[in-house]
Copies of this chain bind each other. A is one copy, B any other.
Amino acid sequence: MSQRGAGMAADIAEQPEMYARLLEPPQTAAIAEVARVIARRRPRHVVLTARGTSDHAALYAAYLVEIRLGLPAGLASPSAVTVYGARPDLSGALVIGVSQSGSSPDLCEVLRVARQAGALTLAVTNAPASPLAGTAELALDIGAGHERAVAATKTYTAELLTLLMLVEGIRAGDGAVPEDERRALGALPALAAGALADPTAAQLAPRYRFAARIVTTGRGYAYPTAREAALKLMETSYLAALAFSGADLLHGPLAMADPDVPVLAVVGDGPGGGAMRDVLGRLGERRADVVAVSPSPVAGAAAHIPVPAVDERHAPLLDILPLQQLALALALARGADPDAPRGLQKVTSTL
């Protein structure tokens, strides 16, 4: 019998090496081929569909599509199709299903209906032989390898990297990630290893040992990180973790913030981080206990989890790493087993 959390720890630790592997052929070639097909088909808009952790990767992709491709992107709820029988006209759309297992019947059904309706369909999974990959016209294997823990870590970051390379390849037109972007991505394995070597995040776990709830927040590219951090804390430590975009936090949920509700704020080094300044000020007025996940310390924050200073577009690939470590350490401190959270299985089937 292995140690509690050993699986999740091993999954987390593999990510730098995984990045290095995914940034080389055959993965780069496989992504370039799919990107080329999509670029040629010139979709008018992009619809993403996913659940759980993969939904946060899809959210990241939606930002990339809007900002980098100049195409409208939206996340679709499968239930409109699967529960109410909606048959939206998807001609001209690229529909992307994201799922590590590729097994959820609702996503398969959405992609099946989309393909029938004339959409270009793409499955992004960690299971090339899965029903989802078989349903879509195009498929990408994120190549994360076997994930030991129920709580997804390396499959999440592999989804992020796959979707990033895909979008940059579509943007280039010929499917290949351009040289300057390749160079920036080439730094990821070492930066990820450096981030994981920093003990700060795990050392913060005792602060939250008796917390019943926590708020996570970020804007723009950092919002998926806030969402995924919240889900990890819920899954592994059974914390009521509420994620808000910085802007939405001000529209209501701010009332909940007080010195007894800890806040994890993901604050980048670019425009998204800049847009968080007002949010941090308002949290300060409410005397909230803010821990900043940021390249440099943030004024007024109670503590600081350092992350590498990179373009905000690449930050999601790094900022989540210490937050995965925090979730793991907190789960262990609380006596939970993050490899097998109560009530969950690795593959979730929803209709």
Instruction: Decide if A16 is an interface residue (CB 8 Å cutoff).
Output: no
Cβ-closest chain B residue relative to A350: B247
Question: A72 CA to B117 CA in the complex, in Å?
Answer: 11
Indicate if the CB atoms of B71 and A84 lie closer than 8 Å: no
* A209 on the B face (CB < 8 A): no
A234-B256 CB under 8 A given contacts A74-B73, A77-B245, A89-B72: yes
Which one, B71, B106, B223, B254, contacts A344 given CB within 8 A?
B254
| A19-27, A51-59, A167-175, A196-204 - the one binding chain B | A51-59
A: contact size bracket: 35 or more
Interface of A is mostly: mixed
Cα of A44 to Cα of B72 in the assembled complex, Å: 12
A242–chain B nearest beta-carbon distance, Å: 6
Query: Smallest distance from the beta carbon of A239 to chain B beta carbons, Å?
Result: 7
- A227-243 interface with B by 8 A CB criterion: 231, 234-236, 238-242
CA distance A344 to B250 in the complex (A): 8
Other than A52-B251, A72-B76, A235-B253, give 7 A-B pairs with Cβ distance below 8 A: A51-B247, A66-B80, A75-B75, A79-B247, A238-B258, A241-B242, A258-B342
19 of the cross-chain contacts (CB-CB < 8 Å) are A45-B72, A51-B248, A52-B248, A66-B81, A67-B85, A67-B86, A71-B89, A72-B88, A73-B88, A78-B247, A79-B220, A79-B247, A79-B275, A234-B256, A235-B253, A240-B256, A247-B351, A258-B342, A286-B342
Q: How far is the CA of A93 from the CA of B82 in the complex (A)?
A: 24
Q: What copy number does this chain have within its complex?
A: 2
Q: A67-B86, A72-B89, A72-B93 given as contacts; is B255 within 8 A of A343 (CB)?
A: yes
Q: Which residues of B contact A343 (CB under 8 A)?
A: 254-255, 257, 282, 285-286
Say whether A308 faces chain B, with CB atoms less than 8 Å apart. no
**A247 vs B80: C-alpha distance in the bound complex, in angstroms?**
12
Contact of A83 among B47, B252, B271 (CB under 8 A): B271
Which residues on B sit within 8 Å (CB–CB) of A115?
Answer: none
Question: What string of 1s and 0s marks CB contacts (under 8 Å) between A215-232 and chain B?
Answer: 100011101000000010
- A292 at interface, CB cutoff 8 A: no
Q: Are A63 and B77 in contact (CB under 8 A)?
A: yes
Is A297 part of the contact surface with B, judged by Cβ < 8 Å?
A: no
Within the complex, what minimum Cβ distance (angstroms) separates A61 from chain B?
12
**Interface digits, A164-197 against B, CB 8 Å rule (1 contact, 0 not)?**
0000000000000000000000000000000000
Residues of B within 8 A of A137 (CB): none
Contact, CB under 8 Å: A242 / B245: no
A32 close to chain B: CB less than 8 A: no
In the bound complex, how far is the Cα of B212 from the Cα of A347, in angstroms?
30
A261 at the interface (CB under 8 A from B): yes
CA distance A343 to B261 in the complex (A): 14
Q: Across the interface, do A74 and B71 meet the contact criterion of CB distance under 8 Å? A: no
Whether the pair B234, A45 counts as a contact (CB closer than 8 A) is no
- A212 proximity list for chain B (CB < 8 A): 212-213, 240
